[in-house]
Amino acid sequence: MADPPERTFSETDQAIMEATYRALREHGYADLTIKRIANEYGKSTAAVHYYYDTKDELLAAFLDYLLEQFVDSIHGVETTDPEERLELLLDELLVKPQENPDLSIALLEMRSQAPYKEAFSERFQQNDEYIRYMLKAVVNHGIDEGVFNDVDANHITRSLMTIVDGGRTRAVVLDNLEELETARRTASEYVDAMLR
């Protein structure tokens, strides 16, 4: 499986994406309006509509922009030793979100709209597949090297993603970053129990 398709953003596109990012962190997804994006952009709403015909189109582009950055950060984990690499990937998924709680809130809002917006659904689906692919590869690598038990890598991977998404959801809903630490510990316990 190759990396997800890349998308090119002109400097203007980038400026609008960053404006969207700021508006989203400040007001949340439910209160994200073209006007607020335009304010952050520093121009009129018509200027935003000049580059993106509809709000939906802009938001789809924004998800591409955001998830690309996320994929890059996952990609940045270069350690190859399976045991260490798995822990570092889990850190990336559960420790790093602590740096930006406002974004986590907005992202859960957007995820909750996936059932109504196919453009969202497609992108979250693809992103999830990519992360699962990365995790599965490490697990299989560990099995091949004999450091992990010969388990159902597909299931283990899905279980870890369940723990990751559970920690993220709970951190937002219960407004408590410790939920991410709990989930991180749970993930390690699960890895220990199933892979050794």
Should residue 59 be labelled a site residue for a second copy when binding is judged by CB under 8 A? no
From the list DNA, a second copy, none, which binds 34 (C-beta under 5 to 8 Å, kind-based)?
Answer: DNA
Count Cβ atoms within 10 A of the Cβ of residue 136 and give its class: 0-12 exposed, 13-18 middle, 19 or more buried: middle
Residues 103-122 that bind a second copy (CB under 8 A): 105, 108-109, 111-116, 121
Are 125 and 69 in contact by the 8 Å Cβ rule? The answer is: no
* Distance of alpha carbon 118 from alpha carbon 108, whole angstroms: 16
Those residues with Cβ within 8 angstroms of residue 107's Cβ, 6 or more apart along the chain or in another chain: 66
Should residue 28 be labelled a site residue for a second copy when binding is judged by CB under 8 A? yes
In angstroms, give the least distance from the CB of 16 to DNA. 9
Are 37 and 23 in contact by the 8 Å Cβ rule? The answer is: yes
In angstroms, give the least distance from the CB of 49 to a second copy. 22
Give the amino acid at 120: F
In angstroms, give the least distance from the CB of 117 to DNA. 12
Those residues with Cβ within 8 angstroms of residue 33's Cβ, 6 or more apart along the chain or in another chain: 27
Binding site for DNA (CB under 7 A): 12, 31-36, 43-47, 49-50, 53-56
Using CB under 8 A, list all residues that contact a second copy.
28, 30-31, 105, 108-109, 111-116, 121, 124-125, 128, 155, 158-159, 161-170, 172-175, 179, 182-183, 185-186, 189-190, 192-194
